Structure 1
Amino acid sequence: MVGGCTGRPWGPLTPLRESCSTRTRTVCIVQKRDTRTMYAMKYMNKQVCIERDEVRNVFRELQIMQELEHTFLVNLWYSFQDEEDMFMVVDLLLGGDLRYHLQQSTRFQEEAVRLYLCELSLALDYLQQRHIIHRDIKPDNILLDEHGHAHITDFNIATVVKEGEQASSMAGTKPYMAPEMFRSYVEGAPRYSSAVDWWSLGVTAYELLRGWRPYEIHSSTTIDEILQILDTKSVHYSSCWSQEMASLLRKLLCLKPKNRWASLARVQGSPLLADVNWEAVLQKKVTPSFLPNKGQLNCDPTFELEEMILEAKPLHKKKKRLAKSKMREGSKESSHSQENEHLQEFLENVRQEFIVFNRDKKCKGAPASEDAERDDAVASPPADGAGSPPDDPEAGTRKNGCGSVCHVVSKRT
């Protein structure tokens, strides 16, 4: 359907339907033709990412995700590019994110949250073993599959720290960020560890149970105000909750990281989870008590129709658009402005540095080949980098290639 930068069609991936879009990312449902497996495909406009200084985050996410594969993560399967966009093909989860369900006035029962705590703790332990700090655990970044199992997504502000070291940069969504992240920013020390993700897990679990967060912190709240709130306000634990649930949340929401429960072993020792069959959880043999509605779209469709009609560069017209663009470039090459030359330079850098990935080849142990268009990219994990908290929703072989493996089914965010 779409021509790649080599002029060849994508090959095995087909579009079905279109849904939603963020500021820089659009998501399609795609299907791999040989296996009929469905995936989600994110595509990000290169020029928009350059203008918003988000290319580094995209590359960081790709570098991290190509090294990961876990039952309770949204796993990367393929990445490729063309002249306009960068593409990431990931697991398709149709149950919606937990933010959506909260906005639908869903109040999760303890049984549901208990299983989420188990599944997400296994995922955080997997990341912890690989020295990865996600830094943005929140309902928006937890997706449910159609059976109701929880998965962590969105690694674009995650960081990898060397063994024995800690992170220091400011990154996350304010209401879910641990106290030590703010203190590190204000005081310059101490740094923080993966314990921040366990704090965020505690905030998320609390919100799922109660419908609001343990502290009145918003994206507009200043850091000084946040520190004052954390130092002066105490968390109220509902009398409707079991003592075991309240006890575990207190351990996760401990202000001092050295006293916080921040490991799978500690969580497994909780009375709330004492009788859990962890192997059964890992194999998804424990049935979730909350089942997403299969008869409806589990995302907000408010802007979907407008996006489908008004999108300036719709995916299904890309092949024709790119051909016209090349003709214009050939006839107007001498008239490029200095600004456009700079943009073209940036775009060329993105093209050269983009990380192409194919998990099928990685799983088969196929060696890298300079002649193959979709060889696995080899890239070392990124070190901790500076970053600012995103808005609260209120809430190395690197090759240029785009022979994809799926066809587009639908578009959503």
Structure 2
Amino acid sequence: PAPMFPWSKWKKRMGASASSSKRPVFDEREDAAPDCAPALPGQVCIVQKRDTEKMYAMKYMNKQQCIERDEVRNVFRELEILQEIEHVFLVNLWYSFQDEEDMFMVVDLLLGGDLRYHLQQNVQFTEETVKLYICEMALALDYLRSQHIIHRDVKPDNILLDEQGHAHLTDFNIATIIRDGERATALAGTKPYMAPEIFHSFLSGGTGYSFEVDWWSLGIMAYELLRGWRPYDIHSSNPVESLVQLFSTVSVQYSSAWSRDMVGLLRKLLTVNPEHRFSCLQHVQGSAHLAGVAWGDVSQKRVEPAFVPNKGRLHCDPTFELEEMILESRPLHKKKKRLAKNKSRDNSKDSSQSENDYLQECLEAIQQDFVIFNREK
């Protein structure tokens, strides 16, 4: 069979603007089990740095699997973005490195669980709690805008809590970078959280979309946290054409139990026309709906969250999230034996030499192009 991953095309795509791609990039897991790890293929373990004794989450992604699944571009794009950014309300990258078999990402360890997990545990989020999440994510999105980054996948699954209950945005594998005057055009995201203009742009081939889409997603998420379901009944199977029609015919229903300020804030975030939507920090800070917020305290994590995760347990279901959780400084100590075993098995396979040569070419290119990163240097 022909190789699944056209290397030469990938090399070209790596140099092309992600905003110009018309290839749909969906995360179909909006109703899936909670996931502490990024959506890219791989495994996660907890590691400890010897000299500082600081704990981190480490994701390791098998190179051959990434090639076969056409995920190399996404891995490299996420690493490229994470190496350039750092913010108090992001899950920050600390180190990236590789060996013969895997690529590694070492990031902040956040054990408070993601918001999808807590929704599935039937946590009743109060307006006070959700308002703080909105403020913390507004600061994160404002920072990303200053770095020309559209996240494109803001949703409960991608908001991790620390042990104090503060929110952190993660998973940049479908994020894109747009420079001044540019617009994104790719159909990318998780459908129930994607802004109307993304679908309009894809169907009409219009002017594209920009940073406003992340603020729509924030509004959808805030509504879901408060009510337990999303304002629009959208699933990954819905055709794009039907979604464009839906946004023009269905009105969002707000709970009569919510305060006037919360409803007003959600209305501004869930405005279909992006030109009239709250879509920057200045809009939110200047809003009467958040008039009492001490933004300096929020940015310094001095506002205590009303919801604090239970410190007595790890808020990640290991069955779904931490496929291999090892609290030691050599999490891959059995790798040499596994590599030797795999090589022996591969040599015995009746596979064509051309396929092996092709795979080796891909692996060598990854080895050459991978950027090693150490935030402490």
Which band: TM-score by shorter chain? 0.7 to 0.9
TM, length-normalised to structure 1: 0.77
Deviation sequence 1:240-266 (CA, Å, 0-9, x none): 110000001000000001011100000
Q: Distance in 1 between matches of 2:322 and 2:161?
A: 24
- Out of 94, 113, 119, the residue aligned to residue 96 of structure 1 is 113
Flag the 1:335–1:156 CA change in 2: closer, same or farther, 3 A: closer
Please tell me the residue identity of whatever aligns with 2:129: A
Moved more, 144-153 or 22-31: 22-31
1:167-246 equivalences under 5 Å are: 167-246=184-263
1:84-163 equivalences under 5 Å are: 84-163=101-180
Residue 344 of structure 1: how far off its partner (Å): 1.1
Q: Distance in 1 between matches of 2:42 and 2:362?
A: 19
Tell me the equivalent position of 1:344: 360
Please tell me the residue identity of whatever aligns with 1:107: Q
Residue 190 of structure 1: how far off its partner (Å): 2.3
Asked if the contact 1:20–1:301 (Cα under 8 Å) also holds between the matched residues in 2, the reply is no
Please tell me the residue identity of whatever aligns with 1:41: M
Flag the 1:274–1:146 CA change in 2: closer, same or farther, 3 A: same
Q: Distance in 2 between matches of 1:324 and 1:146?
A: 40
- Out of 31, 45, 69, the residue aligned to residue 28 of structure 1 is 45
Q: Distance in 1 between matches of 2:322 and 2:94?
A: 28
Residue 194 of structure 1: how far off its partner (Å): 0.3
Flag the 1:64–1:20 CA change in 2: closer, same or farther, 3 A: closer
Please tell me the residue identity of whatever aligns with 1:141: N
Asked if the contact 1:21–1:304 (Cα under 8 Å) also holds between the matched residues in 2, the reply is no
- Out of 275, 279, 299, the residue aligned to residue 282 of structure 1 is 299
Deviation sequence 1:342-362 (CA, Å, 0-9, x none): 11111111111111100010x
Deviation sequence 1:369-393 (CA, Å, 0-9, x none): xxxxxxxxxxxxxxxxxxxxxxxxx
Fraction of identical pairs, as percent: 67
Asked if the contact 2:183–2:207 (Cα under 8 Å) also holds between the matched residues in 1, the reply is no
Moved more, 291-300 or 32-41: 291-300
SS at match of 2:200: helix
1:377-388 equivalences under 5 Å are: none
Asked if the contact 2:39–2:171 (Cα under 8 Å) also holds between the matched residues in 1, the reply is no
Q: Distance in 1 between matches of 2:310 and 2:357?
A: 50
1:391-406 equivalences under 5 Å are: none
Residue 319 of structure 1: how far off its partner (Å): 2.1
Tell me the equivalent position of 1:5: none
Note the residue ranges of structure 1 that are not aligned, 5 or more in a row. 1-18, 309-313, 362-413
1:359-378 equivalences under 5 Å are: 359-361=375-377
1:207-356 equivalences under 5 Å are: 207-303=224-320, 315-324=332-341, 337-356=353-372
Tell me the equivalent position of 1:399: none
Flag the 1:86–1:254 CA change in 2: closer, same or farther, 3 A: same
Please tell me the residue identity of whatever aligns with 2:64: Q
Please tell me the residue identity of whatever aligns with 1:34: D
Residue 107 of structure 1: how far off its partner (Å): 2.0
Residue 23 of structure 1: how far off its partner (Å): 7.1
Q: Distance in 2 between matches of 1:80 and 1:345?
A: 20
Residue 71 of structure 1: how far off its partner (Å): 0.2
Structure with larger RCO (C-alpha < 8 A, sep 6+):
1
Asked if the contact 2:44–2:323 (Cα under 8 Å) also holds between the matched residues in 1, the reply is no
SS at match of 2:256: coil
Q: Distance in 2 between matches of 1:26 and 1:100?
A: 19
Asked if the contact 1:183–1:190 (Cα under 8 Å) also holds between the matched residues in 2, the reply is no
The alignment covers a number of residue pairs equal to 337
Indicate the RMSD between aligned Cα atoms, in angstroms: 2.3
Flag the 1:48–1:28 CA change in 2: closer, same or farther, 3 A: same
Residue 324 of structure 1: how far off its partner (Å): 4.9
Q: Distance in 2 between matches of 1:346 and 1:117?
A: 42
Residue 316 of structure 1: how far off its partner (Å): 3.8
Note the residue ranges of structure 2 that are not aligned, 5 or more in a row. 1-35, 326-330
Given the alignment of the two structures, is residue 45 of structure 1 paired with residue 62 of structure 2, yes or no?
A: yes
Q: Distance in 1 between matches of 2:136 and 2:74?
A: 26
Deviation sequence 1:277-331 (CA, Å, 0-9, x none): 11111111110000111112212233579878xxxxx9442022234556788x8
SS at match of 1:88: strand
Asked if the contact 1:20–1:307 (Cα under 8 Å) also holds between the matched residues in 2, the reply is no
